Amino acid sequence: MKHLYLLVATAAVALAATPFPSKTKNCIEHCKCKKNDLPSRLQVIECDRPLVLNETTFRNVNKQIISTVSLQNVIIDQIQESVFKSFKVLEDVLILNTKIGAIDAKSFNYVKRLKFSDCGFEDTLDLFSEKLEELYLANCQIEQIPVLNGLFSLRFLSLTGNYIKDIDIETFAELFDLQELYLSNNEIFKIPPTLFINNVDLNSLYLDNNPLKHFYLNTSTEDLETLSLSNCQLETFDERSTERLSTLSELNLSNNKIKSLSGKAMSHMKSLSVINLANNKLEQLDDDIFAGNPGLYKITLDGNNFKTLPSFYLDSGEVFTTYTFSCNHCGLKSLPGTVFKNMPGVVDLQLSNNEFANVDNMFQYIPSLKMLDISHNNIVYISPLAFANNTNLEALNVAGNPLLALNPEVFAHTRVISEVDARNASLKMLWSNKNNNIPSLHKLLLSGNQLSSLTIEDFKVTPNLIAIDLSNNPLQFTEDFCKGINWMDKKQIRPIEYSQELDELPGPYIENPKNFDGFTFTSWSEFYNNKCPDVSTTTPGSWEPASDVDIHDNVIDDSTLALEYEDEDDDDVDEDDDDEYNYDDEMEADEESLSKYVEDRNSNLAKASYILSVTSVFILTALVVLTLAVTITLTILRRNNNFNMHKANLPRLKIPMWHSTPGQKKHSGSVYRPLSEDLSGPKTPKLSRYEFTSTPTVHSSNP
């Protein structure tokens, strides 16, 4: 009996030690939490009473796996120092749209990132943390920057959208590791010149939408690379403003009141790669404006009142590395051919909404040009030689110009042109002549013109077209036009219409057959609406974009082969450009993938732990029940004195024993006797393998 008690006690201890899956709320009391597939994220979205955040507030949640805590639309009376102390992997705390009372200085000493957004504070913040790396205080109606001297590891600070007016000279003095600072959308009217004297690691500074009027830093911030001063009412940005910005790579001065800018002022920023001067009051730029900035790869001059542009050059005599140049809404009437003579690498050129009457000789020094926007000018005629040197041109936008007709000879030298946008171009006929085909053209946008009739011959100019936009034209559905529709349908050329809803959809048309760069595919039957009854068209669902082989089936000549060879040579340059464009997107995707992987891993570990706990409990319970049953049965039987296991009438199996009877072979225990020879007759003589008789003895069965 003692053994029984010992066994039961052991089982009880084992069961007590096994972690049963607790039925916790996974939320704090008196609150509602948002259901989340990620066990590492806790989102409190509503509470029926004010909260006091302390060490017992989160007793119902699994503190071993929670990495993010979010509190939204609640009222917090107090945040105590010990509230997050027992969390093992907590990194992020987000408090949104919340009224907050008292906060202990060390309340967030155990988190890396802290975000307050649309919050109201009763007291001035005074935080202390050796671990906090990022602090976000946006739209919190703060009038004074809180004390930050106790945040020794802070690298990122955002104070956007508040009512800050004055900044004390020692505000950031103790933030030695600060790298990014956002002070946009405040009421700051002055920046102390020595404000960042101790912030030697400061990399990015954003001061947009503050009434500064002037900017000057008397400090050597050796790591400052990004400076944004958009909409700061700046009237000047001279040499004094730039003399301490030698390491700057990106400068945003858009939406200010700057009237003049000198090359000497710009020359201090020798590492400058991106400059945005859009929407100022500039009327003229000197030829040497960027003479000391050899690394410029993006120049934006939109919204200024220029009449023309200078002939940009470098002091070194070399060419710029610029690949994006934009001067939309600049009042330009003409451009000399030498403007881009030292910018042969420009890939994307934006010159829309100006006053050009023609574009002859404007682009002769830009052989790398791929995307050209000259929409909404006064261009009536484009010379066949206008793009003679732009053999890499892929996309041309001439929308909004009074062209009357397109000349296919313009594209004689642009062998890779794939898209032409001629919407609202007053076209009364599609082509002025048919002296040249455009085999590389895939998309043609013609909506909002004066086109009344089109024929098969018009469409044969673009034999490999994929999509065409003919909407909002006074088309007459004549027999010739209906035949043209039938011809396009057989060639799998699809009608498209501009869709504002689809304009932001990601992915090219091949990945999303219903979307072609913001345009919606329709069917020809919808387009002609029973006005061409004899036309039998395919359904849009059966259409698939033509492959590259199909597109070029009819264009296999020496010039095409030479073009393909040139395309291969250009691939390396394109890949480099793509890498620069997509670097930030890849980094963000890598960070998102890593975050998702970590969260999935935590989820899998939690599920595995739960399954293991349940399995262990089941096995131990089964063993205990079995042991108890056997023990109780044996105890009862032993108490019965009349019970004798040997005399009990229990079913038994009788298995024949192996015998050593002479003449009988042993067998495996079967109840059947193995076959043996009959011993009743005469005995068979034994022959020796070494003895032979001359006449063998023969036994007869006859008597």
Domain residue spans of the chain: 380-555, 560-588
At residue 646 the predicted structure's pLDDT band, cuts being 50, 70 and 90, is: low
pLDDT for 679 beyond 60: no
Q: Which of 453-462, 470-479, 626-635 has the lowest mean pLDDT?
A: 626-635
Which residues on neighbouring strands pair with residue 78, listed in sequence order? 52, 102
- Give the CA dihedral 381, 386, 388, 390, nearest 10 degrees: -120
Average pLDDT for 373-396: 96
Say what angle helices 2-17 and 558-639 make with each other, to 10 degrees. 160
Confidence grade of residue 634 (pLDDT, cut at 50, 70, 90): confident
For 57-71, 299-313, 418-432, 674-688, which range has the lowest pLDDT when averaged over its residues?
674-688
12 against 148, higher pLDDT: 148
pLDDT (0 to 100) of residue 181: 97
Q: What confidence score (pLDDT) does residue 410 get?
A: 95
Residues 45, 170: Cα–Cα separation, whole Å: 38
Burial (CB count within 10 angstroms: exposed 0-12, middle 13-18, buried 19+), residue 442? buried
Stated as kind and residue range, the H or E segment containing 70 is strand 68-72
Confidence at 561, pLDDT banded by 50, 70, 90: very low
pLDDT at 560: 41
Query: CA-to-CA distance for 203 and 249, rounded, in angstroms?
Result: 10
The answer, yes or no, to whether residue 534 has pLDDT greater than 80, is no
- What pLDDT was estimated at residue 555? 39
Q: Binning pLDDT at 50, 70 and 90, where does residue 33 land? A: very high
For residues 612-622, give the mean pLDDT. Answer: 82
What is the per-residue pLDDT for 251?
A: 97
pLDDT of residue 112: 95
Q: Say which residue, 280 or 601, is predicted with more confidence.
A: 280
Domain 380-555 listed as CATH 1.10.3470: no
Instruction: Indicate the residue type of 505.
Output: L
Q: What is the mean pLDDT of the chain?
A: 81
Which pLDDT score, from 0 to 100, does residue 645 have? 52
> Is the pLDDT confidence value at 379 over 50?
yes
Please, are residues 502 and 513 in contact by the beta-carbon 8 Å criterion? Answer: no
For 528, the enclosing helix (H) or strand (E) is: helix 524-528
Question: Which segment, 7-11, 274-278, 558-562, is predicted with the most confidence on average?
Answer: 274-278
pLDDT score for 647: 52
pLDDT at 553: 43
- Quick one: pLDDT at residue 660? 45
The model's pTM: 0.72
Q: Write down the pLDDT at residue 497.
A: 83
* Rounded to 5°, angle at Cα 447 from 441 and 450: 110
CB contact at 8 A, 32 and 630: no
CA 186: distance to chain centroid?
A: 30
pLDDT of residue 541: 42
Give the mean model confidence (pLDDT) for residues 300-321: 95
Question: Which residues, other chains included, contact 596 with Cβ-Cβ below 8 Å and sequence gap of 6+?
Answer: none
Q: Could you tell me the two tokens for 151?
A: 């945040």
Under the banding of pLDDT at 50, 70 and 90, the label for residue 432 is very high
Question: Of the spans 61-75, 364-378, 605-619, 653-667, which averages the highest pLDDT?
Answer: 364-378
Tell me the mean pLDDT in the region 407-435: 95
**What number is the average pLDDT over the span 108-130?**
93
Is residue 30 over pLDDT 80? Answer: yes
| pLDDT range class, residue 673, cuts 50, 70, 90 | very low
Q: Report pLDDT for 447.
A: 95
pLDDT (0 to 100) of residue 629: 85
Q: Which two tokens stand for residue 13?
A: 């201890």
Range of weakest confidence among 496-500, 540-544, 568-572: 540-544
Please name the amino acid found at residue 89.
Answer: V
Lowest mean pLDDT among 141-150, 381-390, 420-429, 531-540: 531-540
Question: Rounded to an integer, what distance in angstroms lies between the CA atom of residue 673 and that of residue 666?
Answer: 10
Asked whether residue 22 carries a pLDDT value surpassing 50, the answer given is no
Distances (CA, A) of 325 to 185, 388, 636: 28, 20, 98
- Please give the single-letter amino acid code of residue 192: P
* Cα(559)–Cα(443) distance, integer angstroms: 22
Q: Does residue 431 carry a pLDDT above 70? A: yes
Confidence of residue 671 (pLDDT cuts 50, 70, 90): very low
Q: Is the confidence at residue 210, as pLDDT, over 60?
A: yes
Exposed, middle or buried, 516 (CB in 10 Å: 0-12/13-18/19+)? buried
Over range 501-512, report the average pLDDT: 40
Residue 359 reports pLDDT greater than 90: yes
pLDDT value at 435 more than 80: yes
